[in-house]
């Protein structure tokens, strides 16, 4: 497995569970209150390193490389037809292996979708959930309205075909420069850090990103042709296909979860990756002429990702749960990286309020 350097103060271990062997990052006292961090797409646990190091005394930070990313076993594939199921069961198996009954859980982007599924399936394992720029509980692409209604029966416009193929090519070739507008570094600067923002440890973050497993069995996975615009539908492999609304768990199961862990939803006001509209939503790209033959918003509307999330959380609260939505101004998709002081100012008190 890939040997990825870590920041001093972070311990990296190879951990083998009944499901997966992967690299797991740790900080803090082993007897501390456990905090599990799940990274997003085209990244790995490295992205959480400084967040782990900033945890207050008394907490134990735990961040695994999810399957398909970083230092995870390259032979371990994601069955997209289970939605986030493979990644959820990996996380539960890791908690079991570490002897942890309950943990605070944080997810970013794709990791947020894993947390939605985890809370629906295993709410008893979650002390609290902190969602940072999470994907819509309905998944990404191919739906409209606050109820996540599919545009087509085959969920065209979601899954592996959504990802820019030039980005995939450059990622596979290991291009870590910003010379091409669709290189991983360039794309991350535009969609993730935010315009004009470059973290002082960007090189380490990009190097970790380059460990992503690329191809039809990894990132972005496969796709199938569709008669419906934009003429592709989700395949069956890889986490990007697993994000398709075709495979996501019914959000009603999250709403009905018992118990109902408290939720902190943190997002950057300038987030382009998860937004209304998201920059890479095919409907948004088609509307701006970047994908040909766009049939118009009456046929293929833009997905209101934030609106969908808020609608589900309102139902969650009405059913007895609780959530807080915090918007960090001048921030984008990863405020825990680009705006750490503002992020910790809401995250740390939330942990303290809901710790045993």
Q: Tens of pLDDT along 311-328? A: 999 999 999 999 999 999
Residue 341, in any domain of the structure? yes
- Which residue ranges in the chain fall short of pLDDT 70? 1-2
pLDDT (0 to 100) of residue 1: 53
Per-residue pLDDT, 271: 98
User: Tell me, what's the pLDDT at 21?
Assistant: 98
Residue 2 in domain: no
Note the pLDDT tens digit of each residue in 247-260. 999 999 999 999 99
Q: Give the rounded percent of residues in the chain with a pLDDT score beyond 90.
A: 99
- Quickly list H helices, the chain: 49-53, 85-97, 110-121, 165-172, 184-188, 202-209, 239-242, 251-255, 282-287, 305-318, 335-338, 340-353
- Distance (Å) of CA 98 to CA 26, 60, 102: 11, 12, 11
Mean pLDDT in the chain?
97
With respect to residue 31, please indicate whether it lies within any of the assigned structural domains.
yes
- Counting the structural domains of the chain, the total is 1
Question: Which structural domain, as residue segments, surrounds residue 46?
Answer: 11-353
Inside any domain, residue 328? yes
pTM of the predicted structure, to 2 decimals: 0.98
Q: Does 35 fall in a domain?
A: yes
Whether residue 1 lies inside any domain: the answer is no
- Residue 16 in any domain: the answer is yes
Specify burial of residue 71 (Cβ count, 10 A radius: 0-12, 13-18, 19+).
buried
Encoded tokens for 194? 């935010």
Q: What is the CATH number of the domain that holds 261?
A: 3.40.50.1820
> Per the domain annotation, does 5 fall within a domain?
no
């Amino acid at each position: 497995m890939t040997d990825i350097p870590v920041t001093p103060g972070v311990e990296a271990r190879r951990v083998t569970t009944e499901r997966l062997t992967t690299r797991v990052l740790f900080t803090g006292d082993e007897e501390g209150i456990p905090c599990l961090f799940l990274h997003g797409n085209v990244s790995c646990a490295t992205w959480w390193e400084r967040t782990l190091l900033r945890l207050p005394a008394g907490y134990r930070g735990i961040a695994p490389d999810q399957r398909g990313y970083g230092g995870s076993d390259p032979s371990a594939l994601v069955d997209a037809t289970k939605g986030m199921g493979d990644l959820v069961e990996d996380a539960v198996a890791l908690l079991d292996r570490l002897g942890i009954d309950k943990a605070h859980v944080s997810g970013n982007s794709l990791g947020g979708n894993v947390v939605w599924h985890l809370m629906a399936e295993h709410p008893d394992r979650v002390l609290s959930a902190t969602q940072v720029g999470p994907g819509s509980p309905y998944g990404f692409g191919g739906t409209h309205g606050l109820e996540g209604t599919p545009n087509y029966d085959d969920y065209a416009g979601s899954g592996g075909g959504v990802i820019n193929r030039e980005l995939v090519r450059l990622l596979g070739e290991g291009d870590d420069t910003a010379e091409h507008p669709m290189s991983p570094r360039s794309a991350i600067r535009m969609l993730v850090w935010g315009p004009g923002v470059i973290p002082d440890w960007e090189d380490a973050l990009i190097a970790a990103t380059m460990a992503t497993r690329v191809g039809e069995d990894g990132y972005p996975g496969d796709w199938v042709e569709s008669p419906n615009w934009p003429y592709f539908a989700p395949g069956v492999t890889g986490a990007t296909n697993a994000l398709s609304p075709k495979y996501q768990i019914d959000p009603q199961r999250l709403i009905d979860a018992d118990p109902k862990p408290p939720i902190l939803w943190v997002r950057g006001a300038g987030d382009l990756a998860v937004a209304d509209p998201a920059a890479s939503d095919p409907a948004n790209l088609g509307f701006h002429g970047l994908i040909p033959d766009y049939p118009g918003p009456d046929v293929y509307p833009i997905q209101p990702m934030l609106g969908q999330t808020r609608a589900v959380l309102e139902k969650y609260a009405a059913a007895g749960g609780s959530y807080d939505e915090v918007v960090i101004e001048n921030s984008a998709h990863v405020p825990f990286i680009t705006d750490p002081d503002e992020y910790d100012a809401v995250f740390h008190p939330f942990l303290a309020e809901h710790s045993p």
